């Protein structure tokens, strides 16, 4: 397999694009939200302290109000789904949602907003600043808002008594060295968000169980989750204990804190079974682990804590320690185009019919996004491969070592191949992927430029994993680990770009990788 090719000269310029004098904006959120489960709505009020760490005075801030992506059938989201044959079946469940009631103030004074010039982008608005925000200065932005949740067919919504609050609050777009990155909510294509600290209070009916980004500060509620969860984990084959509200109150307010995260999501259901344990990481780090799943006959989710612990330990060993205080996995409604969706410290698994090995792999993948999305905050909309592809590469190793399985091929893998040692199994799997991955698209193209979701998945996930394996085949597994670890350590809680990854890889491996990274622009098969 030829890794280093004649692409060297053409792509040598990538090296010069690594970010020097790096900076990023600083945000602090305070959000109060109330769920009306009968109305399927969230009423909220948020305050954001926004510090301008750039060298540019800002006259406005682009805001994402992504809940408006569900408002009508002319939005960018609905148009994308409708035009993709493999996803258009989602539209049978189409129901509207929206965000309204916005009334922005800046430092206590009313501020104006403007619509985005693209008529399809009704989920983006421009907040016009009353005075320019100079470098090094901060402002306080506040607004009420009301979200009407849609029936669940993408990432946010409600279904079967469960509420998924995702991309639900007004959120500033990223401003970095390349300028503003305002873009509409899309189903095929994920996100790029500023790192921030969050203080979020959620008020809802008292009998709901909640899983959310961050650590719960409501001690009595947290203690009960841990008590129930530990007992259910210890007696996993027994009838699980269900949560009951502590008193006769009709509502409760739960408080969460989170630092160094690019987003905040939460999930609520009266039916959740809770599992709880701790995960011990080196050197001496302990994190809380929760699983929230539905109480169904013959569920395999009673073993989900094993999968959570294995995934966190493996990714921590391979890449670098899990840096957050809690990890959570939530069983969600079935989604006909994905197995799960990740958020910082919590992930929603949307493949309820999965077999044990498949569920384990999906959980590992979605937990893995705490590294490739959350702790390493690349621009997923422009460079999807930096998130999904690197994550898939480690997921494939996880599956190979544990099950001699691969999610791409499922039950089609011959028994003789499954009997091979893990490294030989991986070699066989990637050899088939190399021969069969013939789609035209290059790895490094924006998510919304892929012709359909099948191509998006094959290229961003599978072809990128193959690309990483090509490096491993050349320098070895140990050096590949060192490369990724160096990248993680240098860019944790920052916004790396491809040239930054290249520079970190080269530093660890001790050689130039211009031709290798040039392959991310290559269409068709790798030779």
pLDDT in tens, 59-74: 999 999 999 999 999 9
Do 68 and 181 sit in the same domain of this protein?
yes
> What CATH number does residue 122 fall under?
2.60.40
Residues 385, 124: Cα–Cα separation, whole Å: 25
Do 312 and 403 sit in the same domain of this protein?
no
- Please count the structural domains in the chain: 3
Q: What is the pLDDT of residue 17?
A: 58
In this structure, are strands 98-100 and 138-148 parallel, antiparallel, or unpaired?
Answer: antiparallel
- In-domain check, residue 496: yes
Do 14 and 127 sit in the same domain of this protein?
no
CA-to-CA separations, 27 to 52, 183, 221, in angstroms, rounded: 9, 19, 28
Do 180 and 50 sit in the same domain of this protein?
yes
- Residue among 148, 179, 177, 190 at smallest CA distance from 37: 148
- In-domain check, residue 3: no
Q: Mean pLDDT across the stretch 465-481? A: 97
Q: What is the pLDDT of residue 20?
A: 80
Pull the structure tokens for residue 185: 């909510």
Do 477 and 512 sit in the same domain of this protein?
yes
Q: What is the pTM of this model?
A: 0.94
- In-domain check, residue 383: no
Q: What is the pLDDT of residue 110?
A: 98
Residues 89-131: tens digit of each pLDDT:
767 767 899 999 999 999 999 999 999 999 999 999 999 999 9
* Of 11-25, 346-360, 404-418, the least confident: 11-25
- Indicate if the pLDDT at residue 352 is higher than 80: no
Range of the domain at 514: 8-18+390-521
DSSP code string of 366-388 = HHHTTTBTTTB---TTT-TIIII
Do 13 and 31 sit in the same domain of this protein?
no
Do 173 and 223 sit in the same domain of this protein?
no
Q: What is the pLDDT of residue 10?
A: 31
Number of CB atoms found within 10 A of residue 301's CB: 24
Residues 194, 369: Cα–Cα separation, whole Å: 16
Number of CB atoms found within 10 A of residue 234's CB: 11
Q: Mean pLDDT across the stretch 162-167? A: 97
- In-domain check, residue 442: yes
- In-domain check, residue 248: yes
Do 182 and 276 sit in the same domain of this protein?
no
> What CATH number does residue 268 fall under?
3.30.2010.30
Angle between helix 422-436 and 464-475 (nearest 10): 130
Q: Report whether 322 contacts 374 (CB < 8 A).
A: no
Do 345 and 225 sit in the same domain of this protein?
yes
Residues 388, 292: Cα–Cα separation, whole Å: 24
Do 124 and 211 sit in the same domain of this protein?
no
Q: What is the pLDDT of residue 353?
A: 77
Among 169, 194, 219, the domain-final residue is 194
- Indicate if the pLDDT at residue 26 is higher than 70: yes
Number of CB atoms found within 10 A of residue 411's CB: 7
Share of the chain above pLDDT 70, in %: 95
- Indicate if the pLDDT at residue 184 is higher than 90: yes
- In-domain check, residue 1: no
Do 84 and 176 sit in the same domain of this protein?
yes
Residues 466, 231: Cα–Cα separation, whole Å: 42
Q: What is the mean pLDDT of the chain?
A: 93
DSSP-assigned letter for residue 120: T
Q: Report whether 221 contacts 243 (CB < 8 A).
A: no
Among 318, 345, 375, the domain-final residue is 375
- Residue among 294, 297, 312 at smallest CA distance from 350: 294
Q: Where in 4-122 does DSSP place strands (E)?
A: 26-36, 41-51, 58-64, 98-100, 105-106, 109-110, 113-115
- In-domain check, residue 325: yes
Do 218 and 141 sit in the same domain of this protein?
no
Among 168, 194, 220, the domain-final residue is 194
Residues 104, 120: Cα–Cα separation, whole Å: 22
- In-domain check, residue 380: no
Share of the chain above pLDDT 90, in %: 85
Q: How confident is the model at residue 526 (pLDDT cuts 50, 70, 90)?
A: confident
Residues 237-296: tens digit of each pLDDT:
889 999 999 878 899 999 999 999 999 999 999 999 999 999 999 888 999 999 999 988
Q: What is the pLDDT of residue 406?
A: 96
Pull the structure tokens for residue 519: 């392959």
Residue of higher predicted confidence among 140 and 352: 140
């Amino acid at each position: 397999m030829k890794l280093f090719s004649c692409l060297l000269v053409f792509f040598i310029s990538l090296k010069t694009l690594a970010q020097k004098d790096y900076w990023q904006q600083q945000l602090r959120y305070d959000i109060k939200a109330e769920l009306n489960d009968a109305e399927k709505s969230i009423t909220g009020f948020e305050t954001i302290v926004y510090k301008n760490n750039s060298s540019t005075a800002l006259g406005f801030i682009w805001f994402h109000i992504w809940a408006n992506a569900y408002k009508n059938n002319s939005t960018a989201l609905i148009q994308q789904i409708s035009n993709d044959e493999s996803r258009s079946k989602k539209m049978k469940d189409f129901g509207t949602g929206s965000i309204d009631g916005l009334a922005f103030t800046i430092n206590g004074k009313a501020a104006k907003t403007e619509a985005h010039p693209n008529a399809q982008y009704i989920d983006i608005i421009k907040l016009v600043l009353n005075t320019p925000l100079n470098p090094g200065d901060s402002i306080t932005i506040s607004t009420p808002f009301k979200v009407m949740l849609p029936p669940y067919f993408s990432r946010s919504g409600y279904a079967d008594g469960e509420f998924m609050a995702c991309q639900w609050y007004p959120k500033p777009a990223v401003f970095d060295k390349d300028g503003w990155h305002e873009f509409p909510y899309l189903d095929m294509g994920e996100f790029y968000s500023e790192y921030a600290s969050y203080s979020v209070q959620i008020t809802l009916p008292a009998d709901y169980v909640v899983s959310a980004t961050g650590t719960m500060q409501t001690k009595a509620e947290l203690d009960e989750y841990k008590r129930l969860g530990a007992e259910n984990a210890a007696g996993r084959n027994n009838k699980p204990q269900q949560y009951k509200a502590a008193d006769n109150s009709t509502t409760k307010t739960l408080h969460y804190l989170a630092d160094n995260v690019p987003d905040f999501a939460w999930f609520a259901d009266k039916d959740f079974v809770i599992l709880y344990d701790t995960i011990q990481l080196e050197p001496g780090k302990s994190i809380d682990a929760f699983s929230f799943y539905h109480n169904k006959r013959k569920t395999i989710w009673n073993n989900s804590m094993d999968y959570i612990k294995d995934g966190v330990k493996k990714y921590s060993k391979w890449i670098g320690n899990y840096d957050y205080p809690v990890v959570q996995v939530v069983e969600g409604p079935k989604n006909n185009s994905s197995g799960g969706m990740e958020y910082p410290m919590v992930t929603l698994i949307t493949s309820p019919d999965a077999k044990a090995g498949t569920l384990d792999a999906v959980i590992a993948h979605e937990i893995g996004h705490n590294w490739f999305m959350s702790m390493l905050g690349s621009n997923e909309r422009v460079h999807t491969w930096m998130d999904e592809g690197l994550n898939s590469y480690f997921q494939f190793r996880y599956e190979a070592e544990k099950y001699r399985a691969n999610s791409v091929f499922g039950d089609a893998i011959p028994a003789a191949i499954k009997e091979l040692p893990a490294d030989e199994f991986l070699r066989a799997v990637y050899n088939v992927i190399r021969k069969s991955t013939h789609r035209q698209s290059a790895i490094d193209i924006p998510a919304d430029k892929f012709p359909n979701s099948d191509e998006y998945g094959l290229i961003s996930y599978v072809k990128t994993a193959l690309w990483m394996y090509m490096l491993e085949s050349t320098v070895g597994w140990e050096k590949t680990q060192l490369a990724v670890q160096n990248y993680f350590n240098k860019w944790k809680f920052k916004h790396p770009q491809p040239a930054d990854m290249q520079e970190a890889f080269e530093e660890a491996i001790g050689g130039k990788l211009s031709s290798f990274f040039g392959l991310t622009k290559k269409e068709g098969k790798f030779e």
